[in-house]
Amino acid sequence: MAFRRILSSAVGRRSAIAAAAAGNAREASTAVAAGPGVLAPDAPPTRAPVMPYDRIAEAVNARLRRLEHPDPRFLRYANPVPTHADHTAILAAPETRVTTLPNGLRVATESSLAARTATVGVWIDAGSRYENEEAAGVAHFVEHMLFKGTGKRSAVQLEKEIEDMGGHLNAYTSREQTTYYAKVLDKDVSRAMEVLADILQNSNLDEDRIEREREVILREMEEVWPLMC
């Protein structure tokens, strides 16, 4: 019995030593098979080095993400996404053509086939900048006088003729020009031009009308002068 116990304990000790040796051999073979630069299964994973082009790609992706979800403060003033701009209205504007007549008169025209109304006018290079101290205000004064009647139309007839056409007759004076114009239907352009030609060439400048108009302009000056001081 004693001999059998001694033999079994010796066999168990030998088996344990063999098992330990076999385990060490397996670990060594795994390390050798993995080779240099390859991690063992139980080793913690290491992070791959970041290349420069990876950083660039990440920066580009970050910018694209900002475009998809822009800062709302930026959207108050602009849109980061390119949009189509419609310039049809600008491109559809009629071309301005300037024709010089033999007498030196320049005629500027813009034509639109879809329009049924027309504006005709005369722009005269005689504004306030061309006046000296003695003639200051003459351009504005003459503008008022030209609507007081002509040789064949009184002031009332002028107004009635334009209103019967459904048109509008007016004038204004600026530093550069004095302008007389009429807005009428396209079929009444010739009549409007005849009225403008009549008031520009055949206006009556009666002394009584001049004195009355002088009072009107002086009242206008009294209204404007406090605003200029």
Which positions are catalytic?
143, 213
Instruction: Report residue 140 as tokens.
Output: 């504005």
Sheet holding 168-173, edge to edge: 117-124, 178-185, 168-173
Residue 188 CB burial class (10 angstroms; 0-12, 13-18, ≥19):
buried
Concatenating the DSSP letter of every residue in 187-227 gives GGHHHHHHHHHHHHHSB---HHHHHHHHHHHHHHHHHHHHH
Give CA 188 to chain center in angstroms.
37
Dihedral angle of Cα 101, 105, 108, 111, to the nearest 10 degrees: -50
Q: Which two tokens stand for residue 90?
A: 């600008």
